[in-house]
Chains A and B, each alone.
Chain A
Amino acid sequence: MPVAGDGGTMLEGYRVLDLSGPLGWVAGRILADLGADVIKVESPDADLEEIDWRAFNVNKRLLRLDTKSVAGRQVVDRALAEVDVLIETAQPGIPADTWLEPARLTAINPGLVHVSVTPFGRHGPRAHWRGTDLEIMAASGAMSLIGEPGGVPLRMSVPQSHAWAGMHAACGAVLALFNRTSGGSGQHVDVSAQVALVTALAHAPTFVDILGTVPDRAGSAITGRSVHGANFRAFWKCRDGYLNFVVYGGPAGRRSNQALVEWMTEKGAALGALVDIDWIKFDPKLAQQGEIDRLEEPIAAFLEGVNKQEFLDEACTREILGYPVSTTADIAEDPQLEARGFWQYLPAPDGGSERHCGVFYMENGVRPEIRHAAGNGHADTHGVLSEFGFDAREISELRDGGIVAPA
């Protein structure tokens, strides 16, 4: 165990019942990383070998329970008295899901922190609307900012909305736990994935609010840096892929721009318009598009001859504000992650081992360990039920009725 010390890991002692579907998975993972005992509930016939299920449900214990059945829901009701947090992703407006109404659950356990994660929230005119990652990205404004100017709005190819929703749900859960520690009761935490994702747009909304201009798709450029609306190039073709570098301003940007020009000079690269730039005076927020285009031209020519690893090494040594565009394969080989013990290898269903993202923070210089492999067979189910106060006879009845998985 990590740094436990006298206080234990941060959320040690809290128990979380996680009934969520994909939109809520990340919430439980975060609470588990923070030290809570998270019990993931899955029906006895769910596929636990699915890639995303395993990636996002690691570090949780497993209770295989049929929550569609009346008996299964009675098990949840009894368990509620023993848990601090419940996470669920019931779609508003579905009659079958009314058993998860906040008022009913609070009556069972007034101290319960009940976290609902939905695409658009639990109240409001579109609360009952359904949405997958695509529609949530559309609703949050994110898609309007991705794509070629005037072209089709795009989502990100690796779905993101569930992670944003889950992260906000985890924050809400811990806020509510803190409030309880300070003497408050339990409460309902209502998380809309749409709302959570708006945070990802950075300061884009302020342009609408303050200047009445609407940030829009800019292809592979970056906008929102110039008072004249000039776009800066963010992605540059290199020998084996792409690099991300932006001509920035301020003291850090000045050092970065100068360092790149020094590197170009050492390599004998043509400097073009860069020769004339006084970096002390250069201010990208006041720059016009023509000026930006002229100074980006020699940079583009130079970076075309560089490869990603070389750029990463030089950018790091010279303090150039840029990084290569990494693939998941590049990330897997990154020595920085290795040095910090980011990856954790856990038992896989095929008897081998599988690589997981480790706990997301370090405390006192130590990364806490993932305590539970993903979907540890059925091993946890009966132990969890007895912790919830079910005796051997009750457990075997549930098993015989197909309500919980066999041992």
Chain B
Amino acid sequence: MMETGNALEGVKVVEFGGYAAGPHIGKVLGNFGAVVVHVESHDRPDGFRLEYPPYKEGRPGVDRGGCFAFFNDSKYGVTLNLKTPAGLALAHRLIDWADLVVENMRPGVMARLGLGYRDVCETHPDLVFLSTCNMGQSGPRAHTPGFGSQLSSLAGFCGTIGETDGPPMLLYGPYIDFIASGLGTAAVLAALDRSRRTGKGAELDLSQYETGLHFMAGALFDQDRTGAVATRRGNADTVAAPHGAYPCRDDRWLALSCRSDEEFQTLLRCLDLPELATDPRFVTGAARHVHLTELDGVITQACAMRDAGEAAEALQAAGITAHPVNTVADLFDDPQLEDYRNWRRRYHPVIGDQAYWFPGPALSATPGEVTRAAPLLGADNETVFKQLLGMKDREFDDQKARGTFE
């Protein structure tokens, strides 16, 4: 199939808010061709600019942050002082222009500014308006502020990460925010499709908590049906044994698993452990589960004589599921990610070349692109208001002089 352009050609998006859960949606839409405007102010820049390393050369600064940049490529950045009537009026003009508004303020903040869905839907009936926040727009805890790194605990993830007798753990950061942004992306795309087909807009309420629970749906369903409460179990699995990560000669780790006796026998052949083929401790899955510690011990010994990459290659060739445990640095050399061109370097005026992430789905006809590095704070005021919204030079200069773009 021909690569003919972008899926979201002509789609206009404006986003209010910051950090991950809202802006990550706009980044993905921008990668597939939407024109996305990220609204901040000099008084309240996006929290990722100010609070989150890494910074260029380790020195913090609003335009020096790699974290902000990573979630805001392929967008325009504007600044508006929403504490002034003129700033609010321009926010309205942006919303009038847009097909989609994404906001992740606390519930009620947009309405208090007069920028809520109810304030704009009558004059803009085909608008899609997504509100995404911790708890959703309603319910007894609707107004609770919160970050994804804690919400991931409330949604059951952290309690099921770690060793059986150890403390809970995080997967690095605000894990759940990226579930919310993924499901939010699916929802706004569906709403935009309906809007384009029928002219009907949508007011969407996404609770980041609830979106996370969908990733725990199996465990939650099990709790309802059988009363079983999911726990953290290290790398143990109910079926597979072995099932874990083992240190290798080259200081990398190798993840591997066997789900049947046949697979286990193949593993023994690959690891040159024929003497264990009839060992009663390991001969059946049930026996391997009982003797998991000894089993991990012999596999660890065998892996210590091998390099992780070569071992994985050999095991895969024999039909055993295995993969080196990639470090975050390894992701930049991974042959699959290279083949899919997931890293795309773009020049940022302060940070320099930065590797941006091209998101998941590879579309054959409309593949998308990382169109530009993340914007400096307010860098695109002129482009957005003059070129996209058609503001005359005189009005722009006047607004600038009045501090509307502060």
Q: Do A235 and B158 have beta carbons less than 8 Å apart? A: yes
CB distance from B293 to the nearest CB of A (A): 12
Once bound together, how far apart are the Cα atoms of A215 and B199, in whole Å?
47
A361 to B130, CA, bound (A): 10
CB of A178 closer than 8 Å to a CB of B? yes
SS of B interface (majority): mixed
- By the criterion CB–CB under 8 Å, are B4 and A184 in contact? yes
Q: Is there a chain A Cβ closer than 8 Å to B229's Cβ?
A: yes
> With A220-B167, A222-B170 in contact, is A121–B339 under 8 Å at CB?
yes
Contacts known (A34-B186, A227-B58, A360-B214); A220 close to B365, Cβ less than 8 A:
no
Q: Which residues of A contact B237 (CB under 8 A)?
A: 134
> Would B361 and A191 count as touching, CB distance under 8 A?
yes
Kindly list chain B residues whose C-beta atoms are within 8 Å of the C-beta of A160: 215
- Report Cα–Cα, A35/B194, bound state, in Å: 11
Bound complex: CA of A222 vs CA of B148, how far in Å?
Answer: 12
A202 contacts B175, C-beta separation under 8 Å: yes
Q: Is the CB of B321 within 8 A of A189?
A: no
Contacts of A185-201 to chain B: CB distance below 8 A: 185, 187-192, 194-196, 198-201
Contact A336 B225 (CB under 8 A): no
A340 within 8 A of B: yes
Select the residue from B151, B170, B179 with max chain A CB neighbours within 10 A.
Answer: B170
Nearest chain B residue, comparing its CB with the CB of A195: B360
- A220–B167 CA distance with the chains assembled, in angstroms: 6
Which of chain B's residues 143-166 have a Cβ closer than 8 Å to chain A? Answer: 144-147, 149-163, 166
Q: Is the interface of A mostly helix, strand, loop or mixed?
A: mixed
Residue in chain A with minimal CB distance to B130:
A361
Query: Known: A336-B141, A364-B203. Is A210-B230 also a contact (CB below 8 A)?
Result: no
What separation, in Å, do the CA atoms of A403 and B345 have in the docked complex?
Answer: 51
Q: Distance (Å) between the CB of A7 and the closest chain B CB?
A: 3
The complex places the Cα of A213 from the Cα of B329 at a distance, in Å, of 8
- A-chain residues with CB within 8 Å of residue B339 when the two chains form the complex: 121, 123-125
Given the complex, which residues of B lie within 8 Å of A250, measured CB to CB?
47, 50-51
Scan A276-316; emit 1 where CB is below 8 A from any B CB, else 0: 00000000111000000000000000000000000010011
- With CB as the reference atom, state the residue of chain A lying closest to B134: A323
- Over the window 209-249 of chain A, the binary record of Cβ atoms lying under 8 Å from chain B Cβ atoms (1 yes, 0 no) is 11101111001101111110000001101000111111011
Within 8 Å CB of B178, what residues of A? 199-200, 202
B32 within 8 Å of A (CB atoms)? yes
B37-96 interface (Cβ within 8 A of A): 47-48, 50-56, 58-60, 66-67, 69-71
Quote the shortest CB–CB distance from A173 to chain B (angstroms): 8
A contact residues around B1 at 8 Å (CB)? 106, 185, 187-188
Known: A146-B169, A158-B218, A184-B365. A7 touches B198 (CB 8 A): yes
Q: Taking CB as reference atom, which chain B residue is nearest A163?
A: B215
Residues of A within 8 A of B145 (CB): 252, 256, 319, 321
Interface membership of A406, Cβ < 8 A: no
Q: Does B138 contact A (CB under 8 A)?
A: yes
B169 near A176: Cβ-Cβ < 8 Å: no
Taking the complex as formed, is A168 at the interface, i.e. its CB lies under 8 A from any CB of chain B? yes
What total of A-B pairs shows CB separation below 8 Å? 538
A198-B342, A202-B178, A362-B205 as given contacts; A130 in contact with B54, CB under 8 Å? no
Asked whether A142 is an interface residue with its Cβ less than 8 Å from the other chain, the reply is yes
Please give the number of chain A residues whose Cβ is less than 8 angstroms from any Cβ of chain B in the complex: 160
Assess the A188–B364 pair: CB atoms within 8 A. yes
CB–CB A227/B257 < 8 A: no
In the assembled complex, the CB of A301 is this many whole angstroms from the nearest CB of chain B, namely 17
Min CB–CB distance A333 → chain B (angstroms): 11
Q: Is the CB of A336 within 8 A of B159?
A: no
B362 at the interface (CB under 8 A from A): yes
Q: Which of A75-83, A147-155, A260-268, A392-400 contacts B (4 or more CB under 8 A)?
A: A147-155
A225 touches B362 (CB 8 A): no
In the assembled complex, which residues on chain B have CB atoms less than 8 Å from the CB atom of A379? none
On whether the beta carbons of A325 and B168 are closer than 8 Å, the reply is yes
Annotate A363-374 by CB proximity to B: 1 below 8 A, 0 otherwise: 111000000000
The verdict on B207 contacting chain A, using a C-beta distance below 8 Å, is yes
A332 touches B (CB below 8 Å): yes
In the complex, how many angstroms separate the beta carbon of B260 from the nearest chain A beta carbon?
12
Instruction: Mark B230-256 against chain A: 1 for CB-CB distance below 8 A, else 0.
Output: 111111110010011100000001011
Q: Are the C-beta atoms of B240 and A132 separated by less than 8 Å?
A: yes
In the assembled complex, the Cα of A85 lies from the Cα of B38 at a distance in Å of 32
The one of A189, A192, A332 in contact with B363, judged by C-beta atoms closer than 8 angstroms, is A189
In the complex, besides A139-B326, A222-B172, A227-B55, 14 extra interface pairs with C-beta distance below 8 angstroms are A6-B200, A7-B199, A126-B336, A134-B240, A134-B243, A134-B256, A145-B171, A192-B340, A209-B66, A225-B52, A319-B145, A328-B220, A337-B139, A356-B217
Enumerate 19 A-B pairs (CB-CB under 8 Å) in ascending A order: A52-B221, A102-B364, A124-B338, A134-B237, A152-B253, A153-B245, A153-B325, A181-B196, A182-B7, A182-B196, A187-B1, A201-B171, A202-B178, A224-B54, A235-B167, A235-B169, A327-B230, A331-B156, A340-B139
